[in-house]
Amino acid sequence: MNQLSWTEEKRLLAGCSVINRDRPICHIVRQTIGSNLNWDYILENALENGTSSLLYRNLKEINDDGLVPRLVIKKLKDIYFDITAENIFLLEELGKVLKKFNEERISVIILKGAALLENIYQDIGLRRMRDIDILVKKKQLHKIDRTLKQLGYFSAYNWADYMEISPSQYLNSICYIKRQGKMFVILHLHWHIINTTVPVYSYGPINIERFWKEAGQTTIAGVKTLVMAPHHLLIHLSEHILKHSYSHFILFCDIFEVIRYCNKNGLNWELLVQDTVEFNLNKPVYYGLYFTSKFLGAEIPERVLTRLKPSYLNYGERKIQTLIEENRGLPDLNCFSYFVMNEKVTEKFKFVLRSIFPSREILALQYIVAPKDIRFHHYILKVKSAFMQGLRVLIYLLRRPT
């Protein structure tokens, strides 16, 4: 593992972000614990990055000499059990939805957190879900809407507004919410693996039907359902971490644990490379895999990284690589990432134009109104939002690391 000039606190956090401790990094973690650490920073950073439960599990296992303050262990333990309770509740609700979907013959593939907890992490307290991501077939939206409303869910969006919007460039999801006592269940339904509020022109046509055809069957929340094939899951997680500007370390942990778990069963790296190249997702997949290997020691064949590695990086892409290496993240940085990945000047101009002035249908979805109700002031708000977003990114890029 090479974490460049990271602080001792960040090295400890990275070292405690993997499940199996039977690795050389365990010695590094023990050495780090023996130094004078800022535990308040460690707790705050672990919470921000979604790795507090992983930190708790690993510190508890290697804290033989009482090197970690008791209060730190107690706080992490409380967070772990809170996350466990939340995830139990969400998985129970997911089980009810999946059972109803199966009865109605609604096709679904479980994504991200819900797909990883029981089968990959094998401990539902190690990763907070927050919401439940599901891949559905767009043509079934009407049926899905009716079924979810029968189960007590509602949406601020109208499913019919999405039917005329082509997938792969913009928003490809809809949210449904259900209140259960003091808790909320958020179902995030996708019909494409790309889902952004800005247009993505640098990717090629992505054959979603292939994801469905190669999906595997599993059991989640006690109900039979589908999950992505391992190579497709890694492609999806790598694109997803770019969308979140590489700012949540738990997303690197997801990629690491999928590789660790699936390598035991013979992960088909050749299929991953083939589909990545065909979908023109080389850059996000390369970054996702490369930095997971660099930060966490994921076992990725060198030939895979060599074949996916971009032949040329422009200034903006080199800047992004430096920010990732410094473990710096900013939610708005994904817009900058998508911008610089457009190689031609005309593509960059088109990206900026469509980001500031999206179609009426896209703008309607962003402001949760019907397309016919979009007015001039909505475009003014969008221009203002884009300007402020660009300004934040510029200030961030010019700021020296702390």
Task: Find the mean pLDDT for residues 195-202.
Answer: 83
* The pLDDT of residue 331: 59
**Strand order, beta sheet including 223-227:** 173-180, 183-190, 132-136, 108-110, 223-227, 216-220
**pLDDT at position 314 over 60:** yes
Q: What's the token pair of residue 104?
A: 């109605």
d(CA 339, CA 352): 8
Model pTM score: 0.92
Element spanning 322, H or E? helix 315-325
Q: Which of 221, 212, 139, 222 is nearest to 185 (CA)?
A: 221
Task: Find the mean pLDDT for residues 28-34.
Answer: 67
d(CA 14, CA 367): 38
Q: What is the CA radius of gyration of the chain?
A: 21
Model confidence at 386, pLDDT cuts 50, 70, 90, reads confident
The residues that bridge with 178 in the sheet, in sequence order, are: 185
Reported as a single tens digit per residue, the pLDDT across 264-311 is: 877 999 999 999 999 999 999 999 999 999 999 899 999 999 999 988
* The pLDDT of residue 204: 84
Residue 109 — φ and ψ, nearest 5°?
A: -125, 125
Residues 6+ apart with CB under 8 A from 150: 100
* The pLDDT of residue 239: 93
End-to-end CA distance of the chain: 22
β-strands 108-110, 132-136 pairing: antiparallel
**pLDDT at position 104 over 60:** yes
By the 8 A CB rule, do 317 and 230 touch? no
Which one is predicted more confidently, 106 or 362?
A: 106
